Amino acid sequence: MTLQQNLFAPQAFAGKVVLVAGASGGINLGIAQHFARAGAKVTILSRNPDRIAAAARSIADAGHAVLGRSADVRDFDAIDAVFKETVETFGPVDIVVSGAAGNFHAAAANLSPNGFKTVIDIDLIGTFNVLRASFAHLNKPGASLISITAPGGTHPSLFQVHANAAKAGINMLTKCLAMEWGPAGVRVNAISPGPIAGTEGMARLAASPEREQWLKSRLALRDYGTVRDVADTALFLASDNAKYITGAIIDCDGGSGLGDASGDALQQPPPR
């Protein structure tokens, strides 16, 4: 059987239409740029108009087709309008990546109800809005939807009650939509990145070099990942090479989700 979208072919995504939400920088912009380099036409959206315009320029300047729009994932109608404009401009959407998120360190006892709600609204309800809005605009069968979650969606951690609860919700949302939309030929998966170098997320959660070293010493692979590692995972999941994968949470995390691999508790580090 020939694959329509073989990941290993040059320009593997030529003619495909991709929409990435939360793509003004970091991991999600890296994913959008990677799809563009592989031949796709991409729409990127996020809240801040200046940042999304600069992100769109980075893709256009590299010679790729791009639409950049400012929209808040908490506003379903605004997201739906970006999908409509994408279909009018590029055609029906083949691939959607939903990665808009907000996060900060906060002890639960000091977190206001509105602080908790804000992160749930952006991450969980925002992901529902993006994926729900996408359904009417997808190229079916064959479309691939990817949400961006985190190890904290499965494993509890301190000072992350808001983000971890939101990401746990995204994991279940992903699996439920995979069941409901599979019969229409729509695959729905999630990527769970570990700590990724040079991102806003890690600037917020590991602000000092000491904290960064401490985190790396506990990871099985002993290093942060790169934006490219996550982008490669997204291209794989969206390709026909992954055409029998749906409802999966794919870890791209250096072993972060496995737990503490330092050996400190045993006073015996693993062999090098």
Residue 26 binds ligand NAP (CB under 6 A): yes
**Closest Cα partner for 140 from 96, 170, 173, 97?**
96
Angstrom CA distances, 259 to 157, 180, 203, 216, 233, stand at: 11, 32, 21, 12, 21
Q: How far is the CB of 107 from ligand COA (least distance, A)?
A: 9
When CB distances are held under 5 to 8 angstroms depending on the partner's kind, the choice from ligand COA, ligand NAP, none that residue 22 binds is: ligand NAP
Beta strands of the chain (E only): which ranges? 17-21, 41-46, 66-70, 95-98, 144-148, 187-193, 249-252
When CB distances are held under 5 to 8 angstroms depending on the partner's kind, the choice from ligand NAP, ligand COA, none that residue 100 binds is: ligand NAP
Residue 165 binds ligand NAP (CB under 6 A): no
Q: Which of 1, 50, 88, 112 binds ligand COA (CB under 6 A)?
A: 112
**By CB neighbour count within 10 A (0-12 exposed, 13-18 middle, 19+ buried), where does 106 fall?**
middle
Which residue number, 60 or 120, has a Cβ lying nearer to ligand COA?
120
Residue 9 binds ligand COA (CB under 6 A): no
The backbone torsions φ and ψ at residue 164, rounded to the nearest 5 degrees and listed phi first, read -70, -40
Residue 208 binds ligand COA (CB under 6 A): no
User: What does the radius of gyration of the chain's CA atoms come to, in whole angstroms?
Assistant: 18
Residue 118 binds ligand COA (CB under 6 A): yes
Tally Cβ neighbours within 10 Å of residue 59: 22
Residue 158 binds ligand COA (CB under 6 A): no
Q: Which of 17, 19, 20, 27 binds ligand NAP (CB under 6 A)?
A: 27
> Using CA atoms, how far apart are residues 45 and 69, in angstroms rounded to an integer?
5
Taking CB under 6 A as the binding criterion, the range among 4-12, 86-94, 103-111, 134-142 that sits at the site for ligand COA is 103-111
Tokens of 197: 């170098």
Structural contact between residues 35 and 95, judged by C-beta atoms closer than 8 angstroms: yes
Q: Which of residues 171-230 bind ligand NAP (CB under 6 A)?
A: 193, 195-196, 199-202
Which residue number, 110 or 268, has a Cβ lying nearer to ligand COA?
110
Q: Which of residues 47-76 bind ligand NAP (CB under 6 A)?
A: 47-48, 51, 72-74
Residue 225 binds ligand COA (CB under 6 A): no
The backbone torsions φ and ψ at residue 41, rounded to the nearest 5 degrees and listed phi first, read -90, 130
When CB distances are held under 5 to 8 angstroms depending on the partner's kind, the choice from ligand NAP, ligand COA, none that residue 231 binds is: none
In sequence order, what are the residues at sequence separation of 6 or more whose Cβ sits closer than 8 angstroms to the Cβ of residue 221?
Answer: 254, 255
Tally Cβ neighbours within 10 Å of residue 199: 21
> Using CA atoms, how far apart are residues 41 and 85, in angstroms rounded to an integer?
13
Q: How far is the CB of 146 from ligand NAP (least distance, A)?
A: 11
Residue 239 binds ligand NAP (CB under 6 A): no
Q: Which of 17, 20, 45, 102 binds ligand COA (CB under 6 A)?
A: 102
Q: Which residues bind ligand NAP (CB under 6 A)?
A: 22-28, 46-48, 51, 72-74, 99-102, 122, 126, 148, 150, 193, 195-196, 199-202
